[in-house]
Structure 1
Amino acid sequence: MRDPVDLTGGDHAAALPGEFTVLVAVVDDTVAISLHGELDIATAPQAREAFDAALSGPAPAIFVDLGALAFVDSSGLRELIRLHQLAQARAKVVAISPGGPATQRAFELSGLDDILPFVDAGL
C-alpha cells in the first residue's frame, strides 16, 4: 500500500471545518479515493481531477469513501455520476462507501442511491 496522496495542496494539520480535501492511495489493484469536507461547485473540480487520474490509470477498481464528507451538492453528485459512467465505459469497477446521514440524504432525494454502486461502509 502506498501512502495517501493529497491532491488539494492544502495543509491538513490546519484544515478548517468545511475545507475540502482529497486523499488518494493505491491498495493492490484498487485506487482508493477519500473525500473530506464539502463537495460542491467550488470543490468538484478537485474531485474530478482525482477521479480522472484513477480512470486513466491501470488499476481496474476505484473505491470512493464518502464517510468524511460533510456536504454534497448537485455538482458533487454530477461528478460521482460521471465517474460511474466513465468507469463502466472503460470496464473498471467503482464502489462507493456512503457518507453520513445528511450527505446520504442528497443521494436518496435524487434517486442516485439506487443507481450508484454503494457498498456497505464496513467493507
Structure 2
Amino acid sequence: MEKITQLEEAIAQRDGLLDKICQLEEVAESLRSENLSLKVNTEEVVKAGVENFMSQFKFTQDYENFQAFFVNFGAQQVLNEVKELHPNLDLSNIEVDYPSPEEAKDGVGQPPTDGAEDSVDQPLVEGA
C-alpha cells in the first residue's frame, strides 16, 4: 500500500512539474516574441537616428571642416600635377595651405570670419 501511495505522490509531483514546464514554455514564448518586437523597434529607432544624423550632418562644423580640407587637398593635387606637367613654370609664389581635419576642427588654417566675410569667397590658393 505504501508503494502505491508513493507512486501516486510521484505522479502528482510529475503532473505538477509538467504544468510548471508548460507555464515556463508559455513565458519563454512570450519573452521571445517581446524580444523580437524590441529588436524590430530598436532597428527602427537606430535607422531613424542614422537618417536624422545624416540629414543634419551637413549643418555641423565637422562637415564644414572636412569639406574645406578635401577642397584644399584637391587644389594641392591639381597644383602638383601642374608642376609635374610644366616643370619650367615658376609656381613658387603659389601655395595651397590646407589643414588636416583635426586642425580644421581647431580653427587652424581657416580664414577669419567676423561675420562680414563669407568663407566661400576666400581663394583656395594663396596669391590667386
TM category, shorter: under 0.3
TM value normalised by structure 2: 0.22
Higher gyration radius (CA): 2
TM value normalised by structure 1: 0.23
Structure with a larger share of its residues in strand = 1
Structure with a larger share of its residues in helix = 2
